[in-house]
Structure 1
Amino acid sequence: MIRHLLGSWRSLRGEEALAFVVAALLFGAIDLAALLEMNVGDELPQVLARHFIVPIVSGVVLVLCWLPAARSSPIHPQRRQRLVLATLLGSVLSIAIVYPLADALPWRSLCDIYAASKGKPRCMTMRPVALIGDALWVFMPALMIVGVLEFRTVRRRQAQAAQDLLREHSQLRRHALAARLAALQAQVDPALLFDALVSVEQAYDRHDPAASARLERLIRHLRVALPRLREAGATLGGEAELIASYLDLLRDLNGTPPAFDVDLGTRSATPLPPMLLLPLVQRALRLGPPAQCWLRAGTVITLGFDREGLCADDGELAALRERVAALDARLVCHSGNGRTEFILELAS
């Protein structure tokens, strides 16, 4: 209980304190309009101090009573009743403290000055009816302030919940996309595989000295392309190896794949979502076989071809951009001067 009280008092936010302070100053200034009608003389500083100190003390008591209820469980079925009771308790306690404080202060109030001018006793006297009336006079506006703060708290909590849901949805979307990309990584083009097997078989039938090397390259491509059961995700070096093995396999099939140059520097182990680079290579081969292809890694990842016109935003490239965007990354294409470069900016 004590820990909750101390924790709730320490959790006071600036906007909450400002709301009570402003309300206290406004209530303290209500009676000051009478300054225009009364001559207080040299007592003006004392009158102002009294009329602002008393409501500020009352506001502090209200805050101390309200905070434990405000910091209680937001889903408790009796939260509203707790807030109302805490505000009522704060109002009663504030009046119980303000009356002795007002009597202890050496400065007169405007009401006291007016009463003295009319030969009447001081305004603030400890009468039960006055205590009840003043407590209700504090309770009603205090309850309005508490209601506004509670409404803002509920709105803030709802906004945070919406943000959490959006963040969770984004994470689930990325996980689902990663799973789909992993499934794509596990796929091997059946026509390519069949042609490669036939090519290896024919090479052995011809007693071609390169038959064994062709078989090794086919095995290498399958090892790279098929999912690695003990690895989670892919790396930039692994994707570069996949591209190299794919182009070697095409070369064995009497194709004319581009020469592949790789320079990854120290970023070979950089995590990379699978099947983001190979589809760009396959797309370039379909649109018009380039003679050279290069992969560079620095602050960004660059996949380039010595051919212009590969930036056309067709359905395949649009789908790839969507994958990249879902992974909080960015794919940019530049074409000109006899070359096309795809720049992949990964999320930090």
Structure 2
Amino acid sequence: MTTTPIHSYRTLLPTRRQVLTVAVVVALLSWFLHAASRTPLHIVLAHIGFMGSCLLMAYSAAGPLRPQWLSLRAARLLALVVTAPVAALAMAAIMQGANVFSYLRSIKNLSGYIMLVLVALVFGLVLSTLSMRGERRQRERADRLQGELEKNTLERELLDARLRLLQAQIEPHFLFNTLANVEALVASGSPNAGPVLRQLIAYLRAAMPRLNDADATLGTELQLVRTYLDLMHMRMPDRLQYDVANLPALASLRFPAMALLTLVENAVRHGIDPSMAGGRIEVGGERHDDKVVLWVSDTGVGMAETAQPGTGLSNLRTRLQAFYGADAHLDVHEQQPHGVRVELHFQPGTPA
């Protein structure tokens, strides 16, 4: 035996909003008819309440039970037109019992019955109009929310594509600069060329899988920065000193891959390398309430002698805002007596 699931019956029942609307209309209409006809309020309320309940059930069930060839609006109007006289007749039967047809033979009683049917039809039309307006507003709201969701999804897909493009521009830039450093060691005949090359290979094996990692964290980024500075220190042990702070409270924050690495690489290339005396690079960060500040500072040649920021910093600004929002920004400050300090300001999301 096939049974109908309980949830399918629930579609035949009116919504809470519809029940509340009918209750308000029943109360107002009963009060008006009571004042106009001097009929006791409880009798009018019983009649109108019964009619309203019948019309509401018919209106609610018309949608799920209608045939496919009949529109929803037509099905509901047809249900109201059929239910109004039937409900009025049922009310008369309840009041008069088996003598209902004898009761209707009276012109006065028949006029009252017709009036009750007309009132029921007006009641049903009011109910239908109010309900359809509410449903139309709900559909419009649902369509609007769906449109916003689709728009946000498209914007997110475009943003991801843009981030991948920026990442593709940064990766070769970083890799070629690192290989150029190794080439300089080999060309100069430095005994450090072999160890540096081995360190570079080990570093790239660890770093390359993380470059496009959407779930990269600040902790993994700091590890890459330390390894990179180890590599650079092997190339110029007498000219480069560095310190990378431990930030355990911030290690689990989601962070765009290679963001700090780009700043450190710029500090080496544009700050330390051009300086005869070399310099020191410091990487640190702190959190103030819901804001995070990370910085990379160097004591190299400074902004007056270094080249203007190029693709690396320009892309980093764009990636930072794409990752954390429009309020995220990058600040570049000149240090005294010489050097540069670059700060990343952003409001982090949830930990990875």
1:1-348 aligned at under 5 Å gives the runs 3=6, 6-8=9-11, 12-14=15-17, 16-34=18-36, 47-69=40-62, 78-100=71-93, 125=110, 133-177=118-162, 179-180=164-165, 183-184=168-169, 186-189=171-174, 191-202=176-187, 205-206=189-190, 208=191, 210-227=192-209, 233-252=215-234, 254=236, 259-265=242-248, 268=251, 270-282=253-265, 291-296=280-285, 301-306=292-297, 320-329=316-325, 331=328, 341-348=343-350
Aligned residue number for residue 108 of structure 1: none
Q: Secondary structure at the match of 1:189?
A: helix
Shift of 1:176: 2.7
CA distance in 1, matches of 2:65, 2:284: 57
Aligned residue number for residue 113 of structure 1: none
CA distance in 2, matches of 1:68, 1:182: 57
Shift of 1:198: 1.5
Contact 1:66 1:86 in 2 (8 A): yes
Change (3 A) 1:54 1:172: farther
Shift of 1:190: 5.6
Unaligned runs of 5+ in 2: 98-105, 273-278, 304-308, 336-340
Change (3 A) 1:80 1:146: same
The aligned length equals 317
TM-score by length of 1: 0.67
Change (3 A) 1:27 1:224: same
Unaligned runs of 5+ in 1: 41-45, 105-120
- One-letter amino acid matched to 1:151: R
CA distance in 1, matches of 2:62, 2:268: 68
Shift of 1:12: 1.7
Change (3 A) 1:184 1:2: same
C-alpha distance after superposition, 1:202-245 (max 9, x if no partner): 36x34x2x333322332234224423599664232322233233
CA distance in 1, matches of 2:108, 2:241: 98
CA distance in 1, matches of 2:168, 2:334: 37
Change (3 A) 1:334 1:231: closer
Contact 2:242 2:280 in 1 (8 A): yes
Change (3 A) 1:280 1:100: farther
CA distance in 2, matches of 1:252, 1:19: 80
Change (3 A) 1:277 1:89: farther
Contact 2:332 2:342 in 1 (8 A): yes
C-alpha distance after superposition, 1:135-180 (max 9, x if no partner): 5333432332233123223212212322321342244245434534
Change (3 A) 1:257 1:29: farther
Q: Secondary structure at the match of 1:263?
A: coil
Contact 1:69 1:86 in 2 (8 A): yes
TM-score by length of 2: 0.67
Change (3 A) 1:326 1:197: closer
Contact 1:195 1:253 in 2 (8 A): no
Q: Secondary structure at the match of 1:327?
A: helix
Q: Secondary structure at the match of 1:295?
A: strand
CA distance in 2, matches of 1:53, 1:318: 76
CA distance in 2, matches of 1:48, 1:141: 21
Contact 2:88 2:116 in 1 (8 A): yes
- Percent identical pairs in the alignment equals 20
- One-letter amino acid matched to 1:7: R
Shift of 1:331: 2.5
CA distance in 1, matches of 2:213, 2:320: 21
- One-letter amino acid matched to 1:54: H
